[in-house]
Structure formats: C-alpha cells, structure tokens
Amino acid sequence: METITEKIFAELEEIHKAKDNLDPSSLAERLVILSTYYANLTSHLADLESQYYKTLDLAMESEEKMTAAKAKIKAQAGEEYRKYLQAKNLALSLVEQIRSIKVFIRVKQGEWEASKNL
C-alpha cells in the first residue's frame, strides 16, 4: 500500500513532467487531489505529534531526576520525532507547491484567454 508521502510525491512528479501540456482545468483537478492529500497529511501529522509527546512523557517518567530538557533531547533523538519532522516539513512544502500551482493555473488561464482573443 502506498503511503501518503509516496502519493504526494507521485502526484507532484506527474504535474512537473506534464506541466507544459496541462490545461488549467486539468491542473485544477490535480490541485483538488493535492488538497485532499494535504488534509490526509495534516491528520497523519497530528497522530505523529501525539506519538512524539507520548515518547516525551515516557522519557520524563523513565528517570526520576531527568530534567525536562534532557527528556526533550531524548525524545527528539527517537524515530517518532524524525517521522513527525518529516511529515511537518512535507506539509509545509506541499502548501508551497499548492500555492505555486495556483499561480501557474492563473498564468495558463491568462495565456489561454490571450490566445482566444487573437
């Protein structure tokens, strides 16, 4: 089964490969797909953040004299935090990609309108 990350990268790759041949309507359809993936990603991100905080809590409870700073470092060294950061960064990147595609759609629409008027 494909992960949300793999789906996002596959969709972005398809858009990148065909961007010059896609009409505004096709790009808008792909934008809807990416927006859906973004919603799924943010849900996944919330789960990962919760897992990280559970790890942090366990680290704090593991030793009586562990400071909050040490527990945070220990939790951030774990796999849960790495996955959380990757998902968070992917979400930020996806927002920028979506914004770029919106601008690209406007440019394509302008070109299409200009060519209609010729």
In a domain, 109, yes or no: no
Confidence bin at 6 (pLDDT 50/70/90): very high
Residue 61 pLDDT level (bands cut at 50, 70, 90): confident
Q: Are 104 and 20 in contact (CB under 8 A)?
A: no
Give the C-alpha separation, 32 to 83, whole Å. 25
pTM given for the model: 0.83
- Residue 36: per-residue pLDDT: 96
Task: Work out the average pLDDT over 84-90.
Answer: 96
Q: Are 89 and 5 in contact (CB under 8 A)?
A: no
Domain span holding position 71: 41-101
Number of domains in the chain: 1
Residue 86 lies in a domain: yes
Contact status, residue 66 vs residue 59, Cβ threshold 8 Å: yes
For residue 118, pLDDT over 80 is answered with no
pLDDT at 110: 87
Q: Is residue 107 part of a domain?
A: no
